[in-house]
Amino acid sequence: MSSETGFDPALYDRFPTKGERPAGELKQLEDIWCKPKGWELLTAVNNNYIGFFYVATAFAFFLLAGVLALVMRVQLALPLMGVLPQETYNQFFTMHGTVMMFLFAVPAMEAMAVLLLPQMLAARDLPFPRLSAYAFWAYAVGGLCFFASLFVGLAPDGGWFMYPPYTSTTYSPGINADFWLLGIGFIEISAIAGAIEIIVGALRTRAPGMTLAKMPIYAWAMLVFGVMIIIGFPSVILCTLLLELERAFNWPFFDATRGGDPLLWQHLFWFFGHPEVYIIFLPASGLVSMVIAAVNRTPLVGHNLIVLAFLATGFISFGVWSHHMFTTGMPTLSVSFFSAASMAVSVPAGIQVFSWIATFAMGRARYNTPTLFLLGGLITFVIGGLTGVMVAMVPFDWQAHDSYFIVAHLHYVLIGGMVFPFFAALYYWTPMTSSRALSERLGKWIFWLMFAGMQVTFLPMHLTGFMGMPRRVYTYLPGRDWDLLNMISTVGAFLFGAGVLLFLIDCARNMRFTTDNDAGNVYRGGTLEWLPTGLYSTRSIPVVKSRYPLWDDPDLPKDVEEGRYFLPNSATGLRETIVTSPLRAEPQYVQIMPGPSPWPLLAAIFTAGFFMILTIQAYYTAFANGVLAIACILRWMWDTDRLVPDKKVDVGAGIMLPTYRTGPGTHGWWAMIILLIVVGMIFTMSVFGYFYLYGIHPQFWIKPPDVTWLVPILLGHGGGAGLAILARYMLARENTELWTPGVLICCAAASLLFGFGVDCWNWTAHGLWPTASGQGAIVYAFQSLQGILVFICVLMAGYLSARNSRALIVCPRNNTMDLVVMFMCYTAVEGIAAALIARLFPGPF
């Protein structure tokens, strides 16, 4: 058998080990991974707690947005109803869409991953537990503040995709739109933090032997989900930033009268917005694929094809964004490409659906609640998919665009593709986190109420749309034959609501959160999350030899529980897990994991405070919150990246692994690479904006400054990167007491600051201001992005110097130093690229 890292796979044959394990090992594990008590719950970072909080919070947002939907349906039940005034209705539909998409659907999927992935991969926890905690608290605090804007009449009202010019200051002068722009932009940062956690977790913390071929299908789905987030979400972060800059400082990115273009928003938004649908669907598809195998007691049919379908969806979904823009007058050929891609993306979805049907055909399905939700979701999603192919055809889309047909289509896709699978998953996995399973009898009632409610609500909307009812109208006149259909939809919505209410009752009666006394494998699943677990996850980490290890090795739970596999104890006396290689999951090193801490919570509160207070224009208070957030993050980081006394430890069966690694193989390195991809995507999308604005309105553009100014700018950035690399080199040579690496890193930051300063000054001296034109706005957007990076570099330099002064930067190599150098080099590259693009294109003319 080949090896990826030099690890000898024959060593796996030593497991399960023979003989009794020393007494006290289990007690040591329990002490190290002890339960938080009382207020300590707020400092918990363990995935069992954070995952549960996360799922519960996401579900709470589902309820809140659902209540908004019910009130809207009452308003539309009859013509000329007066339940909601027009302005309030606008806020309701905007908040309903926004909360469902940004605060329920994506976070719910990340939440499930935080809860399930470590157990499914038999890792002790996800690789960055404090990042998970920060992502959760930021989302929860920020989301609740955002939702509360509704109670004071300040909720956004421009629709969940916030098209300018509706949302420009001219047409939306209040701060409602700012709540959306700052709130959602901030919540997306939390989503990206979660995605980094999930990608690194899926690739680097799998149980030994769990090659990509044996990785659970859900982990595959979450891997693709994470990658799609880091590619897609930067676009929405950028466009929210640009629109906020336009609103706050009058930078005309989207103002067609000054060289901007409102369609730029649509391109940027939908480059995120359409993949978002698959970002929601793929994890749900992963959940379905797991549950369907268990309830049918047979391996998933077409496992490899589904993996390929996930990957293909991940790629193709980034080629369909403009199908939301068929009515905007794009070139015919471009429209044809997007139409073709929109039809093509249904092929991977079809592969998944046929695989699920085949699994049902091959297995012996038990018609319990998860099965019913799976079948209901399948039927509903297929209907939504077919109407999706209809609207992918351009002439049809021209007719159906912005009508209730689209409302019906998107709800069929999202409820069938995500909500029903989510409920199936809740029923299936509740016994893993609760001492009692949810009720099967109530569950069937819940399913039929929700399924019937769904169809009764949304099936008539296809007709309402065909009959010409536009979406987002707050009322309509009698005599247009819309009355009956709307009344039916309203009745259906309340049926659906009754199902959800019954689910809450079921939860109240049966859900009893536990970390060590769960109801167990009620549905007879075959994957590792059904091993006996505590807060430390499994007692020992098994060697994985198949996709359904519990079905193929009935002794596995007993052997794992008796500590006969990897890491049966705490080898270092600290929280730890095994980091494995990305392809073949070969053990590489023992990662020391951080424990409970209040700093992620505090950092999240102050970060949310910064963004939310910025909305109400209390700038000093917002600034203070920003400073405190940074201080909390640095304090939380301070405890990390420490050496332990033992350089190598026995992880079981005499296999020795290092406790500290540096370089490209480390989990920190992977996280930094992913972060830099996110930053790079933000920059790439801004470059797209630059070329786009020039292509649309070249008459507003002026000649750039003389190219000789590139010399000091490039020297500044290049010097910064060079000094940073030199610092890393010097660390390997010098004793840290000489301070050399810290000083060099500070010089590197100063050099980057110099390059950035010259670039900014050069444009202002040239007479181009950001308020002048689309060119000015986008050039200064480059500067703003670069300014943020340089600011972070300065912070990093200070932090690294402080660690250096406390002898925490160890020779010859150190992870903190490596990551700072990488970030600085990236900053230099982006600064150089921005300077070159803005001066050489379109060039002196």
Partner 1 sequence: MRAWAYMLGGLIVWTVHFFAIYIAASVFPGLPLGHVLTLLITLACLAADAWLIVRLRVPSGGDDFREWMRKLALVGAGISAISVLWQGLPALIV
The footprint of partner 1 (CB under 8 A) covers 1-2, 211-213, 304-305, 307-308, 311-312, 315-316, 318-319, 331-334, 336-337, 339-341, 343-344, 347, 583-584, 695
Residue 306: closest CA among 359, 352, 350, 363:
352
Residue type, 216: P
Shortest Å distance, C-beta 214 to partner 1 = 9
Q: How far apart are CA 411 and CA 458, in angstroms?
A: 7
Give the helix/strand (H/E) hosting 533: strand 533-534
Q: What angle, rounded to 10 degrees, do the helices at 420-433 and 262-296 form?
A: 50
**What is the 8-class DSSP label of residue 322?**
G
Bridge partners, 589 (sequence order) = 579
Residue type, 309: A
Shortest Å distance, C-beta 340 to partner 1 = 5
Residue among 385 and 831 whose Cβ is closer to partner 1: 385
Shortest Å distance, C-beta 394 to partner 1 = 10
What are the structure tokens assigned to 385, written together?
Answer: 């998919």
Shortest Å distance, C-beta 398 to partner 1 = 16
Q: Under 8 Å CB-to-CB from 196, ≥6 apart: which residues?
A: 128, 131, 226, 230, 671, 674, 675
What are the structure tokens assigned to 623, written together?
Answer: 């600034």
Residue among 585 and 731 whose Cβ is closer to partner 1: 585
Shortest Å distance, C-beta 804 to partner 1 = 32
Shortest Å distance, C-beta 822 to partner 1 = 16
Shortest Å distance, C-beta 341 to partner 1 = 6
Q: How far apart are CA 62 and CA 53, in angstroms?
A: 14
What are the structure tokens assigned to 408, written together?
Answer: 């019906």
Q: Under 8 Å CB-to-CB from 62, ≥6 apart: which residues?
A: 100, 104, 108
Residue among 313 and 540 whose Cβ is closer to partner 1: 313
Shortest Å distance, C-beta 287 to partner 1 = 22
Q: How far apart are CA 713 and CA 717, in angstroms?
A: 6
Residue among 347 and 627 whose Cβ is closer to partner 1: 347
Residue among 210 and 800 whose Cβ is closer to partner 1: 210
Q: How far apart are CA 424 and CA 284, in angstroms?
A: 10
Overall size of the chain counted in residues: 845
Residue 472: closest CA among 414, 397, 407, 391:
407
Residue among 312 and 748 whose Cβ is closer to partner 1: 312
Q: How far apart are CA 88 and CA 107, in angstroms?
A: 26
Residue among 148 and 347 whose Cβ is closer to partner 1: 347
* Whether 146 contacts 177, CB under 8 Å: no
Q: How far apart are CA 409 and CA 458, in angstroms?
A: 8
Residue type, 450: M
E-strand spans in 671-804? none
Residue among 308 and 487 whose Cβ is closer to partner 1: 308
Shortest Å distance, C-beta 305 to partner 1 = 7
Burial of 83 from C-beta contacts in 10 A (0-12 / 13-18 / 19+): middle
Shortest Å distance, C-beta 166 to partner 1 = 25
Shortest Å distance, C-beta 4 to partner 1 = 8
Residue among 137 and 318 whose Cβ is closer to partner 1: 318
Q: Under 8 Å CB-to-CB from 209, ≥6 apart: which residues?
A: 9, 12, 543, 544, 545, 585
Shortest Å distance, C-beta 603 to partner 1 = 33
Is the peptide bond prior to 842 cis by the omega test (within 30 degrees of 0)?
A: yes
